Each structure stands twice: as structure tokens, then as C-alpha cells.
Amino acid sequence: MFERALKGLRLQFGTQMLSVATVALSLFCMGAALLALENTGAMVRRWGAPVKVTVFLAEGVSLEQVDTLRRALTGLPEVEDARYVSSAEARQSLSAGGDATVASAPVELFPATIELRLVPSAVTADRVASVAARVRRIPAVSEVETYRGFTERLRGLLAGGRAAAGIVALGVLLCVLAVVSNTVRMSLAARLREIEVLRLVGATRAYIRTPFLVEGAMLGGVGAVVAVAVLAMVYATLRSHFDASLGTLLGVHPVFLPWTVSMLLIVGGAGLGALGSAAALRRGLQS
Amino acid sequence: MGRSRASQEFRPHFRPEGHFDRTAAHKPILVLENVLKVFRADAPVLRGVDLTIERGEFVFVTGPSGAGKSTLLKLIYRAESVDDGRILFCGRDIARLTEDSIPHLRRNIGVVFQDFRLVPYWTVYENVAVALEVMGLQPRVVRSRVALALERVGLDGRGDERVSVLSGGEQQRVTIARAIVTEPAIVLADEPTGNLDPVLALDILGLFEEINEAGTTVIFATHDRTLLEVSPRRLVVIDDGRCIEARKGLEGLGDALEHRALN
Ligand SMILES: Nc1ncnc2c1ncn2[C@@H]1O[C@H](COP(=O)(O)OP(=O)(O)OP(=O)(O)O)[C@@H](O)[C@H]1O
Ligand SMILES: [Mg+2]
């Protein structure tokens, strides 16, 4: 079977290579979309739920009260660490960029805060909200900032990315089906005499069809392998350029597609190819 | 000879599960009963064809162009199916075969055409071997049987040549080798000499007669009068949708062929 399919591939090498390239290009787009999604996902996991909460203190809170509060906050199971930032420190850190107006502003404009760092494993949107609600009820606290806006924007980005990837995937699916089905149709047309002879000497339906199904699966599968290989190369090149600066800035390190997803792309490519081929056979091998 | 014995003993497996029918060997190889074939409702091609062909017979089928010779052969290897009546091949009604069984029927029938129907980009060997390969035989068996078949048609040692470079006569020998390589019970030839010059035509006819002498039933459709004259075989004329026995002299034949000459 395999041998007969290869014989067919040799017969129209140029066309077959062209269709492998097209399949590879489409699946490359899909892989790239998945890769982008994968990395946005990692970023959202890192930043999506805030690990940082800022507790603004009411005016005129004494240092003793601050210390009691800080200790109480540290005692919460969600809190990993609580650090007091006085008004003066806040002004200093904000003016660190060399901004003279900030540095000369009155210290009362910069409220003292306690910066909470949460235990990352305990962080979910609900628990952060409940911690914030509890802390907000404490009289010495004026406001609690959980940075939800940022979180929600990130999540929105991810959802949008998913939708876009879905559309890309659908386009790629149709494209691969069409390309393989057309290639197999040409292959069929070029081998009509052969098929006629096979029928005449008593070949079964499966005997006639299988090489074409194998051919379609090979077109899809080889295209997918090429796509994943090129994607890995592009990824490696990009990472070597950006890793150091971008990685530390974002606090996340780029990842490639998990091997299961890569395998799925290849198997899916082969499956789609076989499906496209079956469609061509349905139309091309009637009677 | 070994091969003549093999072709006489009939092993039909029309059905994938292949029941061996012991009584089949004693029945006529082919019986057509009241066969009707209609392409256009106003003019049936065959209407009420009755024909019995015994095992080992050589039968010419002739008749004017468009009489239905090709159609008759197509009905036998199930490229077409009857609209009414029965065709019994070794006692089994092939009109009732399922799609899945048709390939198994065809493995018991060799077919040769006027236009050869070879795969031009295959070699001689590949074109003959295909008939055995579809049956899933071992490559070793395929090789030896193809060599034997090529020898029988006078093409021994030429298996590696591409068929597209062969002459018409040589190509027809390749198709004959393909038809007999499976040692089928019956060989159908649809104007196998139509594309060949008269001398070659006689050669090819001789080849079919040898095949027949080795025990294979042959049905030979032609309107080449010379062939009918040199070979005193049973002759069936299709005329007006029916089969008429026309041997014992060529008298009845004259009119039928005259008819064709006018066309
Ligand atoms: N598939 C088909 N559809 C419609 N009509 C057909 C079909 N096959 C054959 N016919 C018609 O049936 C008639 C018999 O055709 P057939 O090919 O059997 O004739 P023939 O005796 O072999 O003629 P020739 O000597 O020219 O080969 C013709 O009139 C032809 O037009
Ligand atoms: Mg004809």
C-alpha cells in the first residue's frame, strides 16, 4: 500500500511538494497562533490574578497601630509577606526617576501603605476579593487596591486571543482540506487508466482507495512536520534575541508548544489530509 | 501440461468468503437466459438473449456495429448489469452479486480489448503482474507466474520494457498475458484485433486458439470476416437484440456482415 502511494507521489512530485508547502504554511500559522496563545496564557497565569495588594492607611495612624495591623495581615493564610511603606518612602520611590516636582511635593500627598505579597498558589480572583473586603473593614485602612482592572484587561486579551486562534484554526482546517483534496483529485485524474485497469482485474474498493488515502495523509502529515519544525526554528531564533530583556521585564519566560500539542498538530495534519483525500475520492471515483 | 490442468479445475470465489461449489464443474460455464439490456427505452440493445457456452468452448460473437457485442461482454464481467433475465456463471447468477463481490467475479474472468487498456507508464511486467497483485499473492509466486504468461504470449524476457514503446501487436500480447496470468476460467476478447493489421490479427487469433486448447473458455467478439473464415469455430451472431447460431456454413453470416458494411 505504502509503496503504491509512494509511486503516486513520484509521479507528480512538483504538485505534491507545492501542496506540502501550502499545508505547512497554513499549519505554521495555526502553530504560531497556538504558540502566541500559550505564552499569553503563561503571562496571564503570572499576572492574571494579582499577587500584589496595596493597603492604603488612613491619615494619622500611629506607628504602633501600623505594626499591629502589619502583623495581623501577615497572619492571613493568603498573605506571604507584608511591608510597610511610609509616606516619605513612597515619595522617594516615585521620585527615583529624577522627577523634581515629585521630590518637592508635600509628603502628605503620598499616603502610607502596606504592600501585601500574596501566596501565588492561593491566588484566585474570589479569594483576593474576600481578603480585600476583610481588610477594608479595618478602621485604620482607607482603601485597598487589588489591581483588578489590569487583571481584567489581561483576561480579555487572552479571551480575544482564543477567539482569534479559533478563527485561524477554522481557516487552516478548511485550507488544508481544500489543498489536499485538490491535489489528490489531480493525482486521481492522472491515474484514471491505472484505476480502470485495477477495477478490470478485480481490485477491491479498498485496494484502489487506500493508496490515495495514504497519499493525502502523507501530504498533511509531512506538511505538519515541516510546520512544527519551522515554528521551532523561528521560536528558537526569537527567544535568543529577546529572552533576557523581555523575560525579566514580564516576569515570564517564553515557552514552546507542549510536545502533546505538537504531536496533535502532526497527527491532526495527517488526519485532515486523509479526510481531504476521502472527499476527493468520493467525487472522483464514482461508479 | 500443468497450466492446462489448473485452468480447467475451477475455483470460483465470487464472494469474499468463497464457497467452493462442487457441482459448478459439471455445469455449463456460462448460461444467458432471456437477457434484456436497455439503454434507451425505445430501442433495447439486447432483448431476450439465450446463450449457453460449455466449458472449454471457443465462441465467436459477431454482428453489425452497435448490435451489442461489447454490451454482451460487459454484462458477463459485470461492467453493466442486466435489466431482466439471468446470467449464470458456473451456475451462479451474477446479476445478483453485490458490489463487494464483483472484484471476486472479475478475478475469474480475463478481458482483452481493442484499445488494450494498459497503463502506459508501467513496464510490461507491472502491467501483467497487477492482476495477481490485487489478489494479494506472494511476490515470488507473482514473478514466476508472470514470467510464464509472458512466455506463453511470446514476450519472454521483455518484462522490463515500458509498454508505451511497444508496437500495437506487442501491446495486445501484454493484455493477453494479463488476461491469462490468473488462469481464469474464461477469457473475453472484445475485438482484440481491431487495431492490428491482418497478419498480426491472425497471429493474435492463433494465440487465443492456443489458450483455448490449454483448456480456457474463450469468447471472441469480432466483425473481422477473415478471422471467422479461417477459424471454423462456433459462431454466434447478435442481430436485432437476439443471439443466432450461425455456423454450419457462413450463409447466415453474410447478411449480418453486409448490414455492417453499409454503416
Ligand atoms: N453506457 C451506454 N449508455 C448508452 N448507450 C449505450 C451504452 N453502451 C452502449 N450503448 C449503446 O448500445 C448499443 C450497442 O453498443 P455496443 O458497444 O455493445 O455495440 P457493438 O456491437 O460492440 O458495436 P461495435 O462493433 O461498433 O463495437 C449502441 O447503440 C450503443 O450506443
Ligand atoms: Mg464493441
Q: Whose CA is nearest to atom 25 of ligand 1?
A: B65
Q: For residue B97, give how far its alpha carbon lies from the nearest alpha carbon of chain A (Å).
A: 14
Distance CA A181, CA B41 (A): 38
Cell of A43: 503571562
How far is it, in rounded angstroms, from Cα A87 to Cα A112?
A: 5
Q: Which residues contact A244 (CB under 8 A, 6 or more apart)?
A: none
The torsion region of residue A268 among left (phi > 0), alpha (psi -120 to 50) and beta comes to alpha
Are the CB atoms for A140 and A64 separated by under 8 Å?
Answer: no
Total residues found in chain B within this entry: 263
Residue A247 has what pLDDT?
A: 64
Fold of A52-146: Alpha-Beta Plaits (3.30.70)
Instruction: Determine the distance in angstroms separating the CA of A213 from the nearest CA of chain B, rounded to an integer.
Output: 17
CB contact residues (below 8 A), chain B span 77-116, against chain A: 77, 99-100, 102-107, 111
pTM of the model: 0.76
pLDDT band at B9 (very low <50, low <70, confident <90, very high): very low
Number of cross-chain residue pairs from A and B with Cβ atoms under 8 Å apart = 45
Positive or negative, the CA dihedral B143, B145, B150, B154 is: positive
* Interchain contact, A202 vs B105, CB within 8 Å: yes
| Distance from the A179 Cα atom to the nearest Cα atom in chain B, whole angstroms | 26
pLDDT category of residue B31 using cuts at 50, 70 and 90: very high
Give contacts of B 114-153 with A, CB under 8 A.
117-122, 127, 130-131, 134-135
Number of Cβ within 10 Å of residue B233's Cβ equals: 18
Q: pLDDT 10s per residue in chain A (287 long)?
A: 667 777 766 777 888 899 999 999 999 999 999 888 888 777 776 665 567 788 888 888 888 888 888 888 888 888 888 888 888 888 887 777 667 777 777 877 888 888 888 877 666 777 778 888 888 888 888 888 877 777 777 778 888 888 988 999 999 999 999 999 999 999 899 899 999 999 999 999 999 999 999 999 999 999 999 999 999 999 998 888 776 666 666 666 778 888 999 999 999 999 999 999 999 999 888 74
Local confidence band at B263 (pLDDT 50, 70, 90 cut-offs) = very low
Domain map (residue ranges) of chain A: 2-46+151-282, 52-146
B43: cell is 430501442
Cβ-defined contact of B106 to A11 (cutoff 8 Å)? no
Give bridge partners of residue B188 from the DSSP assignment. B111, B219
Name the minimum distance, in Å, from the CA of A201 to any CA of chain B.
Answer: 5
Mutation target to probe the A interface, by most A beta carbons within 10 A, among B108, B121, B142, B183 is B121
C-alpha to C-alpha distance for A119 and A124, rounded to whole angstroms? 10
Q: Which of B37, B42, B45 to mutate to test the pocket of ligand 1 (most atoms within 8 A of CB)?
A: B45
How confident is the model over B71-128, as pLDDT tens digits? 999 999 999 999 999 999 998 899 888 889 999 999 999 999 999 999 999 999 999 9
Beta carbon of B43 within 6 Å of any ligand 1 atom: no
pLDDT bracket for residue B4 (50, 70, 90): very low
Q: Do A204 and B182 touch (CB under 8 A)?
A: no
How is residue B225 written as a grid cell? Answer: 470476416
Q: Evaluate whether A215 touches A8 at the Cβ level (below 8 Å).
A: yes
> Which residues in chain B are contacts of A187 at CB distance < 8 A?
none
Measured between beta carbons, which residues in chain A are less than 8 angstroms from residue B102? Answer: 202
d(CA B38, CA A255): 70
Closest CA to B95 of B35, B164, B39: B35
In this structure, what C-alpha cell is assigned to residue A215? 497519499
**Going edge to edge, which strands form the sheet with A141-145?**
A79-85, A113-118, A52-57, A141-145
From the list A193, A196, A202, which residue is nearest B107 (CB)? A202
For chain B, what is the mean pLDDT?
86
CA of residue B72 to ligand 1 center, whole Å: 9
Q: What dihedral do alpha carbons B193, B197, B201, B207 form, nearest 10°?
A: -100
What nine digits make up the cell of B256? 449480418
Nearest to B119 among A197, A199, A202 (CB): A197
- Residues B180 and B109: their CA atoms lie apart, in Å, by 9
DSSP code per residue over A35-47: HHHHHHHHHHHHH
Q: In whole angstroms, give the CA distance from residue B194 to residue A139.
A: 110
With CA atoms as reference, report the closest residue to B81 among B19, B50, B43, B39: B39
Q: Return the pLDDT at B158.
A: 94
pLDDT value at B251 more than 70: no
The radius of gyration of chain B from alpha carbons, rounded to an integer in Å, stands at 18
Alpha-carbon distance of B129 to B146, in angstroms, equals: 6
Ligand 1 and B167: CB distance under 6 A: no
Q: Are strands A141-145 and A52-57 parallel, antiparallel or unpaired?
A: antiparallel
Residue type at A173 in one-letter notation = L
Give the pLDDT score at B20: 55
Question: For chain B, how many helices (H) and strands (E)?
Answer: 9, 10
Q: In angstroms, what CA-CA distances link B162 with B122, B177, B224?
A: 6, 15, 29
Contact A197 B130 (CB under 8 A): yes
